Amino acid sequence: MTGRFPIEDVSPVVSCGRYPAKAVVDEPVPVSARAYREGHDALGCNVVWAGPDGEPRPFTRMRPGEPGQDRWHATICPDAVGSWTFSVEAFQDPYLTWQNAVTKKVAAGQGPEDLANDLAEGARVLAAARSLVPAADRPRVADALTALVDTDLPLAQRVGPALALADLLWEHPVRELVTAGDAYSIWVDRKRALYSAWYEFFPRSEGAVGGRSGTFATATERLPGVAAMGFDVLYLPPIHPIGRINRKGRNNALTAGPTDVGSPWAIGAAEGGHDTIHPDLGTPADFRAFIQAAAAQGLEVAMDLALQCAPDHPWVTEHPEWFTTRADGSIAYAENPPKKYQDIYPVNFDNDPEGIRAEVLRVVLHWVGEGIRIFRVDNPHTKPFDFWHWLIAEVKTVDEDVLFLAEAFTRPAIMHGLGKIGFTQSYTYFTWRTTAAQMREYCEELIEAADYMRPNFWPNTPDILHESLQHGGPPMFKIRAVLAALLSPSWGLYAGYELFEHVARPGAEEYLDNEKYELRPRDWAAAEAQGRSLAPFLTTLNRVRRDNPALHQLRNLRFHEIDNPALLCWSKHDPETGNTVIVICSFDPREVQWGNTTLDMPALGFDWHERFTVYDELTGTSYDWGQRNAVRLDPYLQPAHVLTVRRPTPPVAPPPAGAEPADLTVADVPDDLSGGTAPVAPATEPSPPATAPSAPTAAPGPPASVAATPATLASRAAARAAATRPSRSAPTAPAPKDDRWTS
């Protein structure tokens, strides 16, 4: 150790400081450390931090955690993109030492004579504090110092003003024997690195007619539909020329027909390679126009970066050393046994590392120059990790806003390693977590890795159609969308999900008539008009995400107990705004499920005994909730409750006796004086079994007020007026509560 006091186990620190931790602009970043000292004198800790400009920010005082653990905690909030630094300092706090001693001695009955040395020590500390506090507070410190040394005052009056400075001297402490810990770094990205909603489509399918490819111009027509669903990132598979040698046919057939379009991931042909646009899609000018049209709809275009080549890619003839030659002299094609990709040659990064690095950097910066700031990287785990560490750092020196999503469905250590070396986001195992217990366990693992790995949850991809979607019907499509959109701050889906596409190639976990190998135009408007589209539901989920800042974070995800293993209950709470969302989601697409929650009330920002109103964003129904609540989820109605918490309005003090309430106008009086908080049971709903809990599901009603609106104020005024005014016809009484439907 170095310094007067030990400082250990600092967080967030990634791989002992070898890599920076991650955050985004305005994200609350928890900082903690273990620090302790000998004896009984008070120890203090603070965070010293500086922005990308090198300018130090005011230090942040740390608070002690669980007693006896010597763990200290604080939160910092970086406000700019770039590399930040922080360190933890420990110091002797003479004011806290003095306060603790004097408080105990006075309580024990000791007088001024007994406290002579303590009073003198207090005067020394306050004299030092005068120059540390803000100018506006210095008279308070001076007055306290004057009282402390005034021997004519009673003891309580001498020490009282000094003890009252506790809050001020916590924020502006006298620090002695200051010990600085090691410095660590945090890379701060723009907000989209943490919070985003992705949508993937093949531009060649949009507007395709009679086997003729769509173009960027025809794909532009789909942009308003994607934006209307609330997505903000539009991801395109590779848009480059597609190889003709060994081109795959439909459904990955080894032999392509004369009209087969091939896989976009078989990159390169006579027309060019990774820096070229497929001529069927349009020109570079058309692509720039597409990007601009997307931006006008609030969509940022993400581009695929797949470092592999078709056999007729220009690199194959110009740089054969960039590929692996087999014993028979042929170039090795890609394999993932039993799958074979004869139309793709992997790049070998070891024969000419400097050459291939320079070329890939040139390609990436070419597209950055065209307006691309997000790259979805195909199979990064099959390329050297030091290459990615180098490339991402080099690109960010040119444009620090560029983001990289790792498409790596591989072993945990590798996925975590890619996050540490610089990838902004990562695909995950979300698709294969199909029970409530599995999902909770996996999300808790991701929270532990939040300092360096940001998840992006996808229910489907062009390559992955999970068994649950193949057989779960429309309810399962809703379930997986709720889980992806509301557990993770970033999520995405592949086009066709909203049409419930679910037919798999026999024996495979992928789509029949896979769009990777053929054009697949869809009639989006007809599906929506006929009620065969999930688009309205997806729109609601993305609206809820947008309107609730608690859902923009990962570190605040908390799970709550529920007594049915088919249900998962979680919440997200934003202390800054007070915004809170509670979700209960069923994993069963076929049967009604009942459950009883036991909420962790402090995690929601409440005390254990408090009650509050929740508003279901999916049904429009309000409920009165507390720690324990009953729920009933019918997958054929809504398989989840998405509840926004409406905090209680502070009670309004009654007017003085005899005061006349203000006159009301007709416009002030609401049509419904019930407040909308008493759900009504559907008349046709059968009674639940005697052993089942009560359920909150009810007919939609108006949301409960968040704060005192003019209508609610008028309601209260009307009630107060009843005692002094002639009686009027009574309003309709609120619907009686039915024990079957309210918690």
Contact 679, 698 (CB under 8 A): yes
User: How far is Cα 735 from Cα 433, in angstroms, rounded to an integer?
Assistant: 42
β-bridge pairing 196-200 and 490-494 = parallel
| Torsion sign over Cα 30, 31, 36, 41 | negative
- Cis amide bond preceding 12, omega within 30: yes
What is the SS3 string spanning 167-204? HHHHHCCCCEEEEECCCEEEEEECHHHCCEEEEECCCC
Catalytic residue among 407, 501, 518, 588: 407
Nearest residue to 401 (alpha-carbon basis) of 21, 83, 82, 53: 82
Residue 438 marked ligand-binding: no
Alpha-carbon distance 627 to 562, whole Å?
A: 11
Question: Residues 708-713: contacts with CB within 8 Å, 24+ apart?
Answer: 708/649, 708/652, 710/668, 711/668, 711/669, 711/670, 712/649, 712/670, 712/675, 713/652
For residue 338, say if its preceding peptide bond is cis, omega within 30 degrees of 0.
yes
Q: Is 343 annotated as a binding residue?
A: yes
Q: CA 362, CA 718: separation in Å to the nearest integer? A: 72
Q: Which residues contact residue 202 at a Cβ distance below 8 angstroms, ignoring those fewer than 6 apart? A: 236, 237, 264, 462, 495, 515, 519, 520
**Among candidate residues 69, 59, 63, 49, the one with its CA nearest the CA of residue 8:** 69
Strands (E), 505-574: 557-562, 567-573
Active site residue 378: yes
The CA distance from 148 to 104, in Å, is 17
The token duo for 428 is 């995950």
Q: What secondary structure letter does DSSP report for 393? A: H
Closest CA to 175 of 76, 86, 42, 266: 42
308 known ligand binder: yes
DSSP 482-505: HHHHHHSSEEEEETTGGGT--PBP
Q: For residues 99 and 53, is the Cβ–Cβ distance under 8 A?
A: no
Q: Which helix (H) or strand (E) holds 60?
A: strand 60-61
Is 22 annotated as a binding-site member?
no
Q: Which residue, 43, 26, 27, 23, is CA-closest to 35?
A: 43
Q: Is 383 annotated as a binding residue?
A: no
Query: Which of 189, 200, 304, 378 does the annotation list as catalytic?
Result: 378
Is the distance from CB of 550 to CB of 573 less than 8 angstroms?
yes
Flag whether 739 is marked binding.
Answer: no
Taking CA atoms, 83 is separated from 11, 15, 186, 289, in Å, by: 16, 17, 6, 33
DSSP-derived pairing of the beta strands 403-407 and 567-573: unpaired
Does the active-site annotation cover 518?
A: no
666: which DSSP letter?
G
- Binding-site residues sit at 248, 308, 343, 379, 516-517
- Binding-site residues for alpha-maltose 1-phosphate sit at 248, 308, 343, 379, 516-517
Which residues have a catalytic role annotated? 378, 407
